[in-house]
Amino acid sequence: MKITVYIATSLDGFIARPDGDIEWLHNPDYVLEGEDMGYGALMESINCLVMGSGSYEKVRSFDIPWPYEKPVIVLSSRPQDIPAELASKISQMSGSPTEIVQSLKQKGVNHIYLDGGKTVQDFLSAGLVSELIITQIPILLGKGIPLFGPLPADIHLSHQQTRSYPNGMVQSHYLVQ
């Protein structure tokens, strides 16, 4: 199973403000016409997205149409509000990261886009993440929800490439060894 984390962080390592706000990501100065920074190619290559309930609830809170074509699996220990019109695109699971990956493997999934803060930390701790594509945004937030946290052991990474963009973003791609 290939599990890709593709995520944006502030230069000081936060994926959201303490209250979950991510408006700072949507600065018009960051828009680059004709450049999606690898997002489209990744979306083409995955079978599904797996995201924590914190990320799902944030996406649902936006006044926009559901932004994902591929199936989304929301991880939560609580019943999630899934609108009837999205029932074919969104499902819910719970359990350990290993159990979740096993179950998705049995359903024929071989490439997951993993999203969220706590969720990414849990899958990293369980040794299940294959690659990290991290886009650093040129902003310091000072505090917020961190991408990384405690680990049971060091995780060694193999650097693949780093690209900088005219909007000041710096994207690095690492494989987990």
Ligand X SMILES: NC(=O)c1ccc[n+]([C@@H]2O[C@H](COP(=O)([O-])OP(=O)(O)OC[C@H]3O[C@@H](n4cnc5c(N)ncnc54)[C@H](OP(=O)(O)O)[C@@H]3O)[C@@H](O)[C@H]2O)c1
Nearer to ligand X, 79 or 177 (CB): 79
> Distance of CA 152 to CAs 127, 133, 149, Å?
10, 22, 10
Residue type, 138: P
Query: Among 3, 4, 5, 16, which residue sits at the site for ligand X (rule: CB under 6 A)?
Result: 16
Side-chain-facing half-sphere of 125: CA atoms under 13 Å: 14
Residues 76-115, one symbol each (x = binds ligand X by CB under 6 A, - = not), give xxx---------------xx-x--x--------------x
25 contacts: CB under 8 Å, gap ≥ 6: 8, 137
> At its nearest, how many Å lie between ligand X and the CB of residue 135?
8
Cα(162)–Cα(15) distance, rounded to whole angstroms?
A: 19
Nearer to ligand X, 22 or 157 (CB): 22
DSSP, res 29:
G
60 binds ligand X (CB under 6 A): no
Where do contacts with ligand X occur on this chain (CB under 6 A)? 7-8, 15-16, 20, 22, 25, 51-55, 58, 75-78, 94-95, 97, 100, 115-119, 122, 145
